[in-house]
């Protein structure tokens, strides 16, 4: 889906399809160098990271295994503790593996911080992260993100995996949603 298909609902494009592709290729080149000979395991968190995972994994020039996790967070983004539980676990034993977490966005940092601790606790040899987007103004936990695509402002961002109420995930670029769309809604 393209912005033209949902034009009335979008305020403006933030990152174009070409910019996303180019940046993912750049990061993939760097990761391919950094992980040469290391049998990397890519771990992504459903559902938002799926588009990034697909594009990023294909842009690598090294073999990479892939696995997925589904998490549910309670109270994340509020002043509460934001505890996270596993809805669907990995099928891979990460012990001794070099894990690279692939995320669509790091917002408060709670999800990534929790996941890095969890995977290290399972005995991974190394755990690093690639996040396509970062919202620095919303960061609550100073978690280390080794590879980043773009920094975005604190606005309602959708597309390339990011949703509002399960919509816009299949938009091929990243855009800011018009406030009218979520006014009175969950946002
Ligand atoms: C999003 C995103 C990250 C997390 C980032 O997932 O994919 O996993 O939130 O936010 P944080 O840094 O504040 O923890 P979400 O819970 O919206 O689920 P989804 O991927 O299914 O959309």
> Are the C-beta atoms of 50 and 108 separated by less than 8 Å?
no
Residue 123: other Cβ atoms inside 10 A: 11
For the segment 66-72, the average pLDDT, to the nearest whole number, is: 96
Arithmetic mean of pLDDT over the chain: 94
Does 47 sit behind a cis peptide bond, omega within 30 degrees of 0 on the bond before it? yes
For the domain made up of 17-155, the CATH class stated in words is alpha beta
The whole-number pLDDT of residue 76 equals 46
> Are the C-beta atoms of 160 and 35 separated by less than 8 Å?
no
pLDDT in tens, 78-94: 444 568 999 999 999 99
Please give all residues whose beta carbon lies within 6 A of any atom in ligand 1, as ranges.
45-49, 73, 76-77, 103-112, 163
The whole-number pLDDT of residue 79 equals 43
User: Of residues 89, 107, 163, 172, which has the active-site annotation?
Assistant: 107
Single pTM value for the model:
0.94
Contacts of 3 (CB under 8 A, 6+ apart): 10, 13, 171, 173, 175
Q: What are phi and psi of 180, to 5 degrees?
A: -55, -30
Strands (E), 10-125: 10-15, 40-46, 64-74, 83-88, 98-106
Closest listed residue to residue 27, CA positions, set 125, 116, 150, 154: 150
Distance CA 154, CA 58 (A): 30
Q: In the annotation, is 163 catalytic?
A: no
Residue 137: other Cβ atoms inside 10 A: 11
For the segment 167-176, the average pLDDT, to the nearest whole number, is: 98
For a substitution probing ligand 1, which of 51, 82, 104, 138 has the most ligand atoms within 8 Å of its CB?
104
């Amino acid at each position: 889906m393209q912005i033209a298909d949902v034009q009335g609902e979008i305020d403006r494009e933030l990152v174009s399809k070409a910019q996303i592709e180019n940046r993912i290729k750049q990061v993939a080149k760097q990761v391919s160098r950094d992980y040469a000979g290391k049998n990397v395991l890519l771990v992504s968190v459903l559902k938002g990271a799926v588009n990034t995972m697909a594009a990023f994994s294909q842009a690598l020039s090294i073999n990479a295994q892939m696995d997925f996790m589904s998490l549910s967070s309670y109270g994340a983004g509020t002043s509460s503790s934001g505890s996270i539980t596993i809805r669907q676990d990995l099928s891979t034993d990460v012990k001794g593996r070099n894990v690279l977490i692939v995320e669509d966005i790091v917002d408060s940092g709670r999800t990534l911080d929790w996941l890095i601790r969890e995977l290290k606790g399972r005995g991974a040899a190394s755990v690093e992260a690639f996040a396509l987007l970062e919202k620095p103004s919303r960061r609550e936990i100073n978690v280390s993100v080794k590879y980043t695509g773009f920094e975005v402002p604190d606005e309602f961002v959708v597309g390339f995996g990011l949703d509002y109420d399960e919509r816009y995930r299949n938009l091929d670029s990243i855009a800011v949603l018009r406030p009218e769309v979520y006014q009175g809604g969950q946002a």
